[in-house]
Structure 1
Amino acid sequence: MQGDHAEAQKSESAEDPLPSMLWGLDPVHGVFAKLYIKDILELKNSCTVPGVFFYKTHPITKVDILGTVVQKREREKFVSFGVDDGTGVISCLCWKKQRTSENIKPASSSFGLNLLEQLNKITQLEQRNSQLDLGDIVHVRGWLKDYREQREINSTSVSKIADPVFTAQIARMLELPYLYRNFYDKTFEIPTDSPEPNQQGMKTLSLQRKIKQFLNQTRVKNFYQQELEAIDSLVCIAQQDQVSTYLQEHSAQTLQKTPCVSRQIHEVFQEAVCALQEEGIIFQKVAGPSKLYLVTDEAKELHNVTLRIIQDDSTRPKHVDKGCPFLHIVSCVRHSYSAGVSEAAVQRVLDRLECNSEIISTMDRHYTAA
């Protein structure tokens, strides 16, 4: 049975998603990854380096979990306990620290601080926090490993949390989807040396910056994409490569009328506009063929609606302590203002309101009226 399991595990990890020499380029590799326990248990082993696991294309070595103690086993040198976060249960190992305070000579500083006494206090505090019982909420950080074909966490930090109203658990429930959506579920891509994608990306980035500069200077409230394509200073950026490519075969007048060039210029503008939408600089209030874009900073009605939602809802009992959660604000804005408003646009509005001291961020992505 063990041989079959090893063969199956080896076939699953026949090739790592990312070469080991490139692991350091992935920012996820260097942090304590906050993952659901179910996903931690299903991480694939690296076929080249023991102790390294993969979530999709991201190499994982250490994790950060929050959950309830549902199992406990104590030995002379360590404590083993199971943690449940609602998606699965994983075993955590906490080694007992052996302190020989009797070998430390009493010493005091010039300020009258007894170092041995302070050390004993720290030891007692650590021992008290390490006394885990079933039902305790714990925050665990540690290194992943497989021991006897079982996934477990060799903990470097274990903190017992007094959380009678589940504040920490609710905050973790709000944080994890954001991390998965913006980091873990995104494929890590190594930049290539191919000049064509880089030139295309740099051209789109240059056009994106130029459009932002144009919107900031003119204080335009809304626009259509075809209106941007009629501005010479923007078109010059979008058609730089096309000019160099076709100049030998076309005159300047013919170049402007070439359908292929016009289509490529339109595509560059479209990529730049989409990037501005993802950044929250612009948004569409009404989705449709007209494609009218509104500038987020100039959308006063959106700012007023968002501020009014926070002022009203932050006084309600369930939000009075922590403030309104970000996703709740987004949902209310879409219901009251427009279903087409992106999360990035709402975040930009919240940042502007906080900069103007009209709202206050009370904790991670929670807001209340100032």
Structure 2
Amino acid sequence: MDQPLHLVHVKILAADLLSLTVRHTSPTTFLRCGRRVARAELVGVVVSRDRREKFLRFLVDDGTGCVPCILWLNHQYLNARTSSGPSSDHDPTAEMALKMSEEVRLGTLLRVRGKIASYRGAIQITVRDVVPNDPNSDVLHWLQCVRLAKECYDLPPRSAQGRT
């Protein structure tokens, strides 16, 4: 049975992520060796940071390339506008997004997971979570990416393997 890569966060290097094949269908799909991927996990250093009212945009560099990431912060603003109750009602999603945005500092090594998206023709990650990382985990992530690429991601789908 074919492994459904679109259901998991694929551990991937920036160069591989940025070179995914993009199919402009509805919704947009991303392919690696003919297999659909939808979520990614990467580890790298924050090299750019731009915070606005509703989002935080940043770049993560893992040594093979820079991946644009966007963390949406506007849950808190939508909650505040629609809430008629006291301000003691907190939106946990907004609180988590704000806490994660504080972790994103220039020069910080992070693990970023999220949904692969396309914005203005460029691949980016819509961030689900951000975790500061130990510098040793960077090497482990690289090794896992190489191993998983060879053993899982870069294999043709099983239906194509049976035809050869």
Match of 1:183, SS? Answer: helix
Residue 106 (structure 2) pairs with residue 134 (structure 1): yes
Letter in structure 2 aligned against 1:84: D
Give the deviation of 1:126 after TM superposition: 5.7
Q: Which has the higher contact order (CA 8 A, sep 6+)?
A: 2
Alignment-derived partner of residue 57 in structure 1: 34
Q: Choose between structure 1 and 2: higher helix proportion.
A: 1
For residues 136 and 108 of structure 2, the distance between their equivalents in structure 1, rounded to whole angstroms, comes to: 14
For residues 86 and 113 of structure 2, the distance between their equivalents in structure 1, rounded to whole angstroms, comes to: 30
For residues 155 and 162 of structure 2, the distance between their equivalents in structure 1, rounded to whole angstroms, comes to: 21
Give the deviation of 1:128 after TM superposition: 4.1
For residues 67 and 36 of structure 1, the distance between their equivalents in structure 2, rounded to whole angstroms, comes to: 9
Give the deviation of 1:141 after TM superposition: 1.1
CA contact (8 A) 1:66 1:140 kept: yes
Give the deviation of 1:187 after TM superposition: 1.1
If the length of structure 2 is used for normalisation, what is the TM-score? 0.80
Alignment-derived partner of residue 84 in structure 1: 61
Q: Return 5+ residue gaps in structure 1 as ranges.
A: 1-23, 106-115, 195-370
Give the deviation of 1:189 after TM superposition: 1.5
Q: Choose between structure 1 and 2: higher strand proportion.
A: 2
Q: Return 5+ residue gaps in structure 2 as ranges.
A: none
For residues 136 and 20 of structure 2, the distance between their equivalents in structure 1, rounded to whole angstroms, comes to: 28
Residue 62 (structure 2) pairs with residue 93 (structure 1): no
If the length of structure 1 is used for normalisation, what is the TM-score? 0.38
Give the deviation of 1:47 after TM superposition: 4.8
* RMSD of aligned alpha carbons: 2.9
For residues 71 and 99 of structure 2, the distance between their equivalents in structure 1, rounded to whole angstroms, comes to: 14
Residue 142 (structure 2) pairs with residue 173 (structure 1): yes
**Of the two, which has the highest radius of gyration?**
1
Alignment-derived partner of residue 46 in structure 1: 23
Cα distance, 1:75–1:188 mapped onto 2, change above 3 Å:
same
Give the deviation of 1:191 after TM superposition: 8.2
CA contact (8 A) 2:100 2:129 kept: no
Alignment-derived partner of residue 71 in structure 1: 48
CA contact (8 A) 1:69 1:135 kept: yes
CA contact (8 A) 1:129 1:160 kept: no
Residue 152 (structure 2) pairs with residue 190 (structure 1): no
Q: How many pairs does the alignment contain?
A: 154
